[in-house]
Amino acid sequence: MIKIVVDSTGYLDDQFVKENDIGIVPIKVLIGDIDYKENENLSVSDFYKLLTETTVLPKTSQPSVQDFIDVYSPALEKGDSIISIHISEKVSGTINTARMAINALKSNAIKIIDSKSTIFSIRYLAEHTVKLIKDSLDFESVFKSTEKLVERFHDRFILNDLKYLIASGRVSKAEGLIGSLLNIKPILSFTDGVIKVNGVTRTWKKAKELLIKFIEKTKNTYGIEKLAVMYGNNLEEAKEFARDIKQAIKFEIDLIEAGVAIGNYAGPQWLGVGIQASS
């Protein structure tokens, strides 16, 4: 058998996880003096409440080697092979920790896939892997096909408040300060696994319009197989934005709420679009 393992930034539906026996390795977060594990002892709603109230921003860290071993070992003991799908290696140490766990286990039955993004990419890679497993493909074929799918992902993100991203060190403080002073809303993406600024606008409304134009351009250039709207503590806005997208391109949209590991950097109000292109 082939088992799928992901980190918690995929925010997979509970039912999907249960039905397909997917292993989840949680990202850790430190709030004050308390350590939490995403989705285990800190709910999404409680996290966003803490995020808006605290004066000291939470800190996240990748899972420990033991966290991976705890998920990998039971599958290996059953004789399973493992496809391990994770957040971009260039923004998180999660994949490096997974490699250390594999070395500790001395296993050749685990292969890692770098999603080169997060949230939607992990979800769609997991869904793709599940389909291949149900089609009875062998381990190497499942791995190669799933890894190849990464090339067809496109994304854009907009943040209403840059302070969370600045505090994380993911963008320079100089860039963040300029954005705050001028009320600029950056258009961000994961480009080859790294967060890049793809453009700027002065208003939140215009930023959302630019995301829709990005979707339309991607559809016309590559075609679209799957499309997700990602969001923080702003579900109603995400629903409205999804309706605007559907009106523009007549396509069904997945809504994905991001929790601790992503919300810590994006803040409570943000929106993203993730696309699995046809080619």
Per-residue confidence in pLDDT tens, the chain, 279 aa? 999 999 999 999 999 999 999 999 999 888 777 788 887 887 888 888 888 777 777 888 889 999 999 999 999 999 999 999 999 999 899 999 999 999 999 999 999 999 999 999 999 999 999 999 999 999 999 999 999 999 999 999 999 887 777 776 656 554 555 566 567 888 999 988 988 889 889 899 999 999 999 999 999 999 999 999 999 999 999 999 999 999 999 999 999 999 888 888 888 899 999 999 999
Residue 158 sits at φ, ψ, to 5 deg, of -130, 140
In the beta sheet, which residues pair with residue 195?
190
Q: Which pTM does this prediction carry?
A: 0.93
Instruction: Name the token pair of 203.
Output: 């208003």
Query: How does DSSP assign 157-180, residue by residue?
Result: EEES-THHHHHHTSS-HHHHHHHH
Instruction: Name the token pair of 179.
Output: 């954005």
**Cα–Cα distance measured from residue 136 to residue 10, given in angstroms and rounded to the nearest whole number:** 24
Select 2-26+62-150's CATH number: 3.40.1350.10, 3.40.50.40, 3.40.50.10170, 3.40.50.620: 3.40.50.10170
pLDDT at 141: 98
Q: Do residues 120 and 149 lie in contact, with contact meaning Cβ atoms separated by under 8 Å?
A: no
Q: Are strands 110-114 and 153-159 parallel, antiparallel or unpaired?
A: unpaired
Domain residue extents for the chain: 2-26+62-150, 152-277
**Cα–Cα distance measured from residue 168 to residue 18, given in angstroms and rounded to the nearest whole number:** 33
Dihedral of CA atoms 160, 164, 170, 172 in degrees, nearest 10, equals 80
Instruction: Name the token pair of 135.
Output: 């089609």
Q: Do residues 227 and 274 lie in contact, with contact meaning Cβ atoms separated by under 8 Å?
A: yes
Instruction: Name the token pair of 176.
Output: 């963040």
pLDDT at 177: 53
Q: 152-277, what's its fold?
A: Hypothetical Protein Tm841; Chain: A;domain 3 (3.30.1180)
In the beta sheet, which residues pair with residue 157?
188, 272
Burial readout 87-98 (b: 16 or more C-beta within 10 A, e: otherwise): bbbebbebbebb
Asked if 2-26+62-150 and 152-277 have one fold, the answer is: no
Report the first-to-last Cα separation within the chain, whole angstroms. 29
Sheet with 224-231, edge to edge strand ranges: 194-201, 185-191, 153-159, 270-277, 224-231, 254-257
**Cα–Cα distance measured from residue 224 to residue 279, given in angstroms and rounded to the nearest whole number:** 8
